[in-house]
Amino acid sequence: MNTPLVAAKNLHKSFYTDHLEVPAIRGLDFELSAGEFATLVGPSGSGKTTLLNLIGGLDVPTGGELQVLGNNLPRLTREQRAELRLRSLGFVFQAYNLVPVLTVRENVEFILELQGAGADRFAHAQQVLETLGLADLAKRFPKELSGGQQQRVAVARAIASNPRLVLADEPTANLDHANAEVLMQLMRRLHDERGMTFLFSTHDPRVMQHATRIITLSDGKITDEKSN
């Protein structure tokens, strides 16, 4: 049996405010295998973003076990988690998070430079943009792009280093239906053609239909799961 990319057992995450404990993830068990195109669904506050942040090492659990790409995540230092994100994970955020003073190509190059890529990073970034049909936007700045274009550039940046796992938090939330459909077709093509593993969250029933597996969360727990 292949080892899952992500394995959570009795996972807990609580936040604390004014001396009160606010549970966000409650005893969750979850596995994600290589090659999946899975989505987390559920109402606001159900734990989708918290779970993605835990898997991505942006936050740490308050209890339970969490293995990500063979790493015992709760035992990693902040620096080790940052290195894991840089080397092995890709992120797509709801708010795009492109660097406004960099061109499209430079935004893609930036992550490659952080990883220590050499002079060929220019050509590699350009190749990624061409593969995703974004080459004509290479010299534009984020402010010159539509929301749909910005999010497609964010996907290009996320997959530029061929990560083992791409995490996307509500990637279509700020897009109209047409642009959301274009984005999901792009992500699904990367999955189908390159075997990339995706875990994304959504509220949109039309978006979740692109997934091969739908995981429903409620009150910090998985309440339903089905193949699509």
**pTM over the 0.85 mark:** yes
Helices (H), 144-220: 147-159, 177-194, 205-208
Residue 1 confidence (pLDDT): 55
Summarised one tens digit per residue, pLDDT across range 25-71 is 999 999 999 999 999 999 999 999 999 999 999 999 999 999 999 99
Instruction: Please choose, from the candidates 163, 138, 172, 168, the residue with its C-alpha nearest in 3D space to the C-alpha of residue 153.
Output: 138
Which listed CATH number (2.60.40.420, 3.40.1190.20, 3.40.50.300, 3.30.360.10) goes with 6-227? 3.40.50.300
End-to-end alpha-carbon separation of the chain, Å?
22
